[in-house]
A and B are shown apart, each in its own frame.
Chain A
């Protein structure tokens, strides 16, 4: 660390603490979980990393949330995967848990891949909702890394809750500290492992933070019955400060049918 950086650090905390207190008075963020020292050390860590984020915590080709979902889904359940992509998750669930799986996907190429995998797939646009799909007709409806890509996220969530007894939702947390620093200090749209696309290529059009989602759930009277996060390469249950520390989140929800 250079002399200049050390000075910055020693001068930093007091001023930062003031700012943080101001911040806390203005927003209802759980900022108390973050001491000024901790914030400074995060900034240091951020600055010492190569742009583009770290590549750790994920086994190649296998998503962390697939593992969690596999544990949550009960054997033989009826499962609907919204935005099922090329059907990897459903294929695994069918193979390992004997579920009765159905996918919905809009991209024709991915639909073909599903058929190649032997996964039943319905080509449709989630933004149109699920008209004609009966209430409560699935034990689980999965929305894996899809919520942030749809035009009508609330419509899709409501439909998910309508047709399923339980919903499983995973998405990148835009409140994650690296995201905040990339944008807040870096001044650039964040490109990290959970958000790997440059702004002009990203399919993510409705990003939200963990806090945003929880606020929606409270408003919509959707009950969150289970929560998991990926944080610094570790998969663990949700903690209080995870709006800052979770890179990706997974919720199991149910509506008040």
Chain B
């Protein structure tokens, strides 16, 4: 193992340099306004896979482009662990709604969505909603529990990927869309896309799963366990009842730092930071921030606590842990589960991803294949690790554009 050769490094650097599109850019969806809808009211609770229920349930979502007359051009994008419904464009209400971090940058997959972009808003109606239990406008532990009049905190029931997808289906009903042209997501979002293909096979025409598999590896479970441990053992955690009090920021920051390690790769770290010292030419021999990589992680941790809720992190990582498509739909046999799939399917992995390694993504694709269903499985060579699904927008953009261009199965 060593530093990648200079040539590779240069190429990778060139790839990384992306121009951020302003709201006026012709390929940008421009200024965005999120919607919030009550999909479940107090009288008819939303029952959960793990038992328990929630009511009411509000869902925050964004849409770009226009739904056509046939109502068959909708693409549902699912976000990952720390994501939100703001997938593209510039939030027109960032300041007003206390989401200041959105003033500095566009939505989390802005390169992929817009007029003439791979997910082309001239042709498609793009939807993204925040998941249940998160902290970006959809009901979650930060919200008031009508039974107690206080924030849910850890009183919020455990949610699963299956619950999320059922709630997304309710949103579709609300929007009057029977069938999706495509479901697409990366990482935990990819598992939601897969769950769509399994739970609602008749409502999905194309499924695209990126950097994701049918279940998290034991290594992934281990990372999540450490992340939660950091939060749970923060002195401010107070059994999840910290709203209005100092938040368990150190625990959440540590969880995020660990997360960022798992999103990168050894090669990416060599390229990004090497062993360079942070703003100094000689070490200070202290426990302060000495290396660039430490500075990076510290920054990521700090900026995350400004925008994320520790309880939500617990709930979402747990949903990630529990997801097991084979168990849910195939009695433990993934091929049996995948016999439910009716859509065209594309699975994309990234060579240096160690959170959802190519081998496991391939296993998912193969399980679909085993049912005699056509599947496209692509491993994109990349040293960006798990983050590649957000970074390798050029290769991925072409794949998605081309896959969807031939997408009408009937």
Contact = CB atoms under 8 A, between A and B. Distances in A.
A257 B45 CA distance: 56
Contact of B376 (A100, A120, A132, A134): A120
Given A112-B399, A115-B399, A120 B370 contact: no
A115 B378 contact: yes
Interface in B285-317: none
Contact of B370 (A78, A121, A124, A133): A133
Given A118-B405, A118-B406, A124-B362, A112 B369 contact: no
B372 interface: yes
B375 A102 contact: yes
A232 to B, nearest CB: 39
Interface string B361-399: 011011001101011111111000000000000010011
A237 interface: no
Given A111-B378, A112-B399, A122 B406 contact: no
Contacts of A75: none
Interface in B165-183: none
B354 to A, nearest CB: 19
Contacts of A123: 377-379
B374 A101 contact: yes
A115 B403 contact: yes
Contact of A108 (B365, B381, B406): B381
Interface string B133-151: 0000000000000000000
Contacts of B402: 112, 115-116, 118
B320 to A, nearest CB: 25
A41 interface: no
A137 B346 CA distance: 20
A55 to B, nearest CB: 33
B381 A100 contact: no
A102 B362 contact: no
Interface residues of A, number: 21
Contacts of B344: 120
A122 B380 contact: no
Contact of A134 (B346, B370, B374): B370
Contact of B369 (A101, A111, A118, A133): A133
A102 B363 CA distance: 16
Contacts of A115: 346, 376, 378, 398-399, 402-403
Nearest to A113: B402
B375 A132 contact: no
Interface in B181-197: none
A150 to B, nearest CB: 19
B228 to A, nearest CB: 34
Contact of B374 (A111, A120, A124, A132): A120
Nearest to B362: A124
A161 B362 CA distance: 23
Contacts of A124: 362, 377
Contacts of A111: 378
Contacts of B375: 102, 120, 122
Nearest to B370: A134
B179 to A, nearest CB: 20
A108 B403 CA distance: 15
B272 to A, nearest CB: 24
A124 B403 CA distance: 18
Nearest to B398: A112
B365 A122 contact: yes
B379 A108 contact: yes
A102 B346 CA distance: 12
Contacts of B406: 117-118
B370 A102 contact: no
- Chain A to chain B: the 3 pairs with minimum beta-carbon distance, closest first: A118-B406, A120-B374, A116-B402
Interface of B: 344, 346, 362-363, 365-366, 369-370, 372, 374-381, 395, 398-399, 402-403, 405-406
27 contacts: A102-B374, A102-B375, A108-B379, A112-B399, A115-B346, A115-B376, A115-B378, A115-B398, A116-B398, A116-B402, A118-B402, A120-B344, A120-B375, A120-B376, A121-B376, A121-B377, A122-B375, A122-B376, A122-B377, A123-B377, A124-B362, A132-B363, A132-B366, A133-B370, A134-B370, A137-B370, A137-B372
Given A116-B398, A117-B406, 13 more contacts: A108-B380, A112-B378, A112-B399, A115-B346, A118-B402, A120-B344, A120-B374, A120-B375, A122-B365, A122-B376, A132-B363, A132-B370, A133-B366
